[in-house]
Structure 1
Amino acid sequence: MKLKDRNVLVVGLGKSGFSSALFLKRQGANVIVNDIGDEKSFEREKKVLKENGIDFVFGKHPEEIFLKQDLIVVSPGVPTNREPFLKAHDKGIEIIGELELAYRFISTPIVAITGTNGKTTTTTLLGEILKKEGVNVFVGGNIGIPLVEYAEDDSRDLVVLEVSSFQLETISHFHPYGGVILNITPDHLDRYTSMEEYAEVKMRLFERQETFDFAVLNADDKWIMKYKPAILSDIFLFSVSTVVDKGAYYKNGRIYLVHPSSNQEYVIQEGDIRLKGIHNMENVMAAAISALELGVKFDTIKEVLQNFEGLHHRVEFVEEIEGISFYNDSKGTNVGAVERALAGFNNPVVLILGGRDKGGGYDFLIDQIKRTVKHIIAIGEAKDNIYNDLHNYVTVEKVNSFEDAVYTAFRRAERGDIVLLSPACSSFDMFTSYAERGEKFIEIVRKIKAEVNGKN
C-alpha cells in the first residue's frame, strides 16, 4: 500500500487514531486528524501532532475535509454511518480502520481473538503460553498496543490480537491465520440495529480465511453455530456442555483437548487451573486448543494454566469484610459478562449494576438473578431501565452516587454473601474508563474496611 503524498484523514484521536496518524506521517502521507471532542481534552496529543507536522480539527466533522481525502482511517469508537462518511463513500473514497491499515503492512502470521466476553483474558493467556514456549510473539490490538505500532517492526514469529466488533466493521483484506470467537451475547445494541447485525460483524473475522487456516468456535453459542457453515478454514470446537470430536470440552471437572494431528487426547484437571469459573474454562479451552494447533507442547500449556491469575477488573477478589466478600468486575460492561460472572458464584450476591446504557435491556440476566442475586443496587443513567426490567424478580434499589452504591451494598449484605460490581454498562456517565471505575470501587471497599477495623 503506497501512502507517500496521499491525503489521509484520521477520524478519532483515541489510542489507535493517534498511533495511526503518526504511522501515516512516517509513511509520507499528508495527514489531518479530526475528532468531534473538545480540543482542550487533547493538549498532549496536539503537542505531538504539531511536532510531526500533522494538522487537526476538533469539535465537528467538516464535510469538506472528508471529501478532499484519498483515504480515511477511522477509529473503532466512531460510527461510520454519519453523513460525512456516507458522502465520502459515495465519492469512492476508501474508508478503513487501524486494524486494516496495519494489516496491509504486516507479513507476520496473525491469530485474532474476538467475542463479546473473555477476549482479553484469552488473548493474554494465549500470549503467555506462546512466550513460555519460546515463541517471539506480539500481543496487542484492542488491548494494550495498537497493531499499527507493530507494523513498522513486523519481525516477530507470531501476532496475537484481541479484535472488537468495531474494528471488524472496517476490514476488507484482513486475513488472520487463526481466528477464535468465544461467544456472541447482547452488547453494543446502541450501535447495531439488531443481534443479527452484531453477530454478522463478529463473524467477519473469518470471511477471508481459507482451508489452510484454522478457526476455534464455541459450540454452545447459537449465533456462532448459525454462521459456522460459511467458514472455510479448519474448525476446532470447544464446549462446556457436550463432547466434541475435534477441539476441547469440559466434563466432570476436567478439560479434554482433542487434537487429531497430535494423535492424542490431553486432560487437564480443573483444580490445576488457577483461573476459576465456568466462563474461564471456555477461555482456557480456546487458548489451549489454539496453542496446540500452533505447535505448543502440552506441558507448556499446563504449566502456564497453573500460574496464570487472570486480569485486573475481571471478577477480581478485593477484600473480605465481616464475612462479606467483595469482587471487582468493572470490565463486565455488558449483560453477557455479568451473566458469566454470576454463574461463578453459589453464595447470595448483592449486585451493583448500572452506568451508561448500551441498549438491549437486562432481561438476559433474569435466570441468573433468580438463581443467586438477593439484591440489586442500580446506579447511573441506566438505573431506571434496570429497575423497570428487573424489579419483578429481585429487590432493585436505586442510588445516586457510586460511593453510596458500595456502602449500600455492604449494608444489604450479610456474612457469607458476595458484593459484586458487575455493571453491564459502560462507565462513561461517571468515569473515563472501566479501569477508573474499578479502581474507585477498590478504594471505597478498602475505606469501608478501614472504618470497620477502626470500630473494632
Structure 2
Amino acid sequence: MEFKGKNILIIGFGRSGIASARFALDRGANVIIADKCKQADFSKEIESFNGYPIEFLFGSNDLPAKKIDFIVVSPGVPLNIQILKHAGQKNIPVYGEMELAIQEIKTPMIAVSGTNGKTTTTSLIGYIFSACGKKVCVGGNIGTPLTSLVNEANDSEWVVVEVSSYQLETTPSLSPKIAVLLNVTPDHLDRHASFDEYLDTKMKLLYMASESGCGIYNQEDENITTKIRNLKGKYIPFNVHKDIKENKFYTRDLNGSVKSWDIGETKLKGSYNYENILASLVVANICGLDEKKVCEAVRNFNGLSHRVEFICEIDGVKYYDDSKGTNIGATRAALTNFEKGVILIAGGQDKGTGYKSLASLISSCVKKMILIGEARDRIKDEIGDFTETVFANDMNDAVRIAHKEAVKGDVVLLSPACASFDMFKNYAERGDTFKSAVHRLIER
C-alpha cells in the first residue's frame, strides 16, 4: 500500500483514527481527519498534530473538495454513512485501520474473534506464549491499534490479534496462521442488517486462515457448526462438555490426535471461560509449546477487569462487575454463575437484539432487576414480568437501590446486556462508575 504523497481521509478521531493518522503521516501521506463531533471536543488531540501536513473536518457528511486516494475508517464507524456512500459513488477504496498494519506485518499471526470472550482469549494466548519464552505482540480490538505496533510485531515471533466483526469487514488482507472463532450470538444488530449477516461476517475469519494454517472453532455453537460444513480448509473443533473432565482439558490437532492438559484449579471460572481456555490450549498444542509451562500459565492467569469481576462483599452481599457484558449472550453467561438471589443491574444503549432469550434465567435466579439507560423501557416490556423490576436514574441510584434491597447471601451483578454509549464513554468507564459507587457503600 503506497502512502507517500497520497491524500488519505481518516474517519473517526478516536484511538484507532489517531493511530492511523500517525501511521500514514510517518509514511509521507497527507492526512485529513473527519469526525461527526465538534472540533472543541478534540483540542488536545489536534494540538498533538501541530507541524504535520494534516487537516481536520468536523461535523460534515461530505467528502473534502480535494481528491482522496483512499479512506480509512475506525472500527465503530458504520459503513452506510453518507460520506462513505459518496466515496462508493466515486470508487474511492475504503479500508480499516487494521488493514494498514496487516500490509506491513510479516510475523505469523493468531487472530481471535467471537461475540464474547475474545479479549480474554487473546490476552490468555499472549500470556501463555510469553510464559513459554516466546516473544509475542498482542494488539488489535483488545485496545491497542495494530498500526501502533508494526515495529514490535515484526520484531516478535508471534502476533496475537483480537478482531471484531467491524474489522473483519474492512481488513481484506487478513490471513492469519491460526484463526480462532469462539462463539457467535446475536449482537451489533444496530449495525448489521440481520443476525445471518453478522454470522457471515464472523465466519469470514475461518476462511481467511492462510493455506498453511488452520481454523479453530467452538463445536457446541450450532451457528458456527452449521456454516462450517460448507467451508473448505483445515479446522480443529473444541467442545467444553466433551473436552473437560475432572480439571483435565483435552485438545486435538489436525490429525485428530488427543492431548491432555492437567490444569487443575484456575482463576477463570464459568463455562464461558472454559471455552476461552480450551481454545487457547488448542493454539498452544498446534504451536508445540511446553506443556508444563502452558499449564502453569493457565493456572496463574488472573483474567480481565469488568468481566464478572468480584469487587467486594458488604454485609454478606457480594458485588460483581460485568460491565463488559454488552450483549445478551454475555449477560446470559454471567448469570449462569449464580443459582439464585441475584439483583441485576442492566440497561444502556440498545443494540437491536431483543432480550426475550434471557427470560428463563431472569425467572430462575434474578430476584430483582434494576434498569438504567435508553433501553430500560424495552427490557422491561420484554422480560420485566419475570421478576420484580424497577428503574434507576443512573448508576449511583442503581447501586443505592441494590444495596437497600439486598440481604445476606445475595449477589449484586452489573451485567447490562447493552452498549454503554448512552451514559458513558465506554464499558470501562461504566464499570469503574459501578465500582466507585460500591466502594462508597463501604465508606459510609
TM-score, reference length from structure 2: 0.96
What secondary structure does 1:207 align onto?
Answer: helix
CA contact (8 A) 1:35 1:61 kept: no
Residue identity in the other structure for 2:298: L
1:336-384 Cα shifts (integer Å, max 9, x gaps): 1101111122242110001111111111211222231111001111110
Where does structure 2 lack aligned partners over 5 or more consecutive residues?
none
Distance in 2 of aligned mates of 1:366 and 1:78: 32
Provide the rounded CA distance (Å) in 2 between the counterparts of 1:260 and 1:169: 28
Are residues 1:257 and 2:251 paired? yes
Q: How does 1:95-106 map to 2 (within 5 A)?
A: 95-106=94-105
Task: Indicate whether 1:268 and 2:267 are aligned.
Answer: no
Query: Which residue of the partner structure matches residue 454 of structure 1?
Result: none
Secondary structure at 1:73 match in 2: strand
- Aligned counterpart, 1:107: 106
3-state DSSP of counterpart to 2:32 = strand
Residues 3 and 24, structure 2, Cα contact 8 Å, conserved in 1: yes
Contact 2:261 2:295 in 1 (8 A): no
Looking at structure 1, the residues matched to 300 and 38 of structure 2 have their Cα atoms a distance apart, in angstroms, of 44
Aligned partner (choices 249, 263, 288) of residue 295 of structure 1: 288
Deviation digits for residues 302-331 of structure 1, max 9, x if unmatched? 101111111011100011111110001111
**Are the aligned partners of 2:183 and 2:218 in contact in 1 as well (CA < 8 Å)?**
yes
Does the alignment pair 1:73 with 2:72? yes
Give the letter for the 1:126 counterpart. I
What residue in structure 2 maps to residue 429 of structure 1? Answer: 422
- The 8 Å contact of residues 240 and 278 in structure 2, kept in 1 or not, is answered as no
Aligned counterparts of 1:177 and 1:45: Cα–Cα separation in 2 = 36
Q: CA deviation at 1:277?
A: 0.9
* 2:443 aligns with one of 427, 438, 450: 450
Query: Equivalent residue for 2:203?
Result: 203
AA of the residue aligned to 2:208: R
Q: Distance in 1 between matches of 2:39 and 2:411?
A: 43
**After superposition, where does 1:38-437 map in structure 2 within 5 Å?**
38-65=38-65, 68-153=67-152, 154-241=154-241, 243=242, 249-251=243-245, 253-259=247-253, 263-269=257-263, 271-437=264-430
1:18 paired to 2:18: yes
- Distance in 1 between the 2:244 and 2:88 partners? 47
Q: Which amino acid aligns with 1:26?
A: D
Cα distance in structure 2, aligned partners of 1:407 and 1:229:
50
* SS of 1:272 mapped into structure 2: coil
Equivalent AA in structure 1 for residue 135 of structure 2: N
Could you tell me how far apart the structure 2 residues matched to 1:366 and 1:51 are? Answer: 56
Structure 1, unmatched stretches of 5+, are 244-248, 452-456
Instruction: Report the alpha carbon displacement of residue 255 of structure 1 after superposing the two structures with TM.
Output: 2.2
Contact 2:248 2:260 in 1 (8 A): no
Structure 1 stretches of 4+ with a deviation exceeding 6 A read none
The answer to whether the 8 Å contact 2:165/2:202 transfers is yes
User: For residues 335 and 52 of structure 1, what CA distance do their matches in structure 2 show?
Assistant: 44
Shift of residue 160 of structure 1? 0.2
1:390, 1:396 within 8 Å by CA — same for their partners in 2? Answer: no
Q: Report the counterpart of residue 27 of structure 1 in structure 2.
A: 27
The Cα of 1:251 is off from its aligned counterpart by: 3.8
Pick which of 108-117 and 426-435 moved more: 426-435
CA distance in 2, matches of 1:203, 1:336: 18
**How far apart in 2 are the matches of 1:62 and 1:260?**
50
Q: Report how many aligned residue pairs link the two structures.
A: 443
SS at match of 1:352: strand
Deviation at 1:49, TM superposition (A): 2.2
Separation of aligned partners in 2, 1:391 and 1:369: 9
**Partner of 1:134: helix, strand, or coil?**
coil
What SS is found at the alignment partner of 2:72? strand
* Partner Cα distance (2:267, 2:205) in 1: 30
Deviations 1:389-441 (A, max 9, x none): 11221111112121110111122222111100001111122211111111111
Distance 2:107 2:254 in 1: 26
**Distance in 1 between the 2:294 and 2:375 partners?**
41
Could you tell which deviates more after superposition, 423-432 or 333-342? 423-432
Distance 2:315 2:358 in 1: 28
Could you tell me how far 1:263 is from its partner in structure 2? 5.0
1:103-134 alpha-carbon deviations (Å, 9 max, x no partner): 11111111110111101100000000000111
8 Å Cα contact 1:13-1:33 kept in structure 2 = yes
Provide the TM-score with structure 1 as the length reference. 0.93
AA in 2 matched with 1:250: I
| Shift, 1:152, TM fit | 4.0
Q: CA deviation at 1:262?
A: 9.8
State the percentage of identical aligned residues: 42
Instruction: Decide whether the 8 Å contact of 2:340 with 2:367 is kept in 1.
Output: no
Inter-CA distance 237–263: structure 2 relative to 1 (3 Å threshold): closer
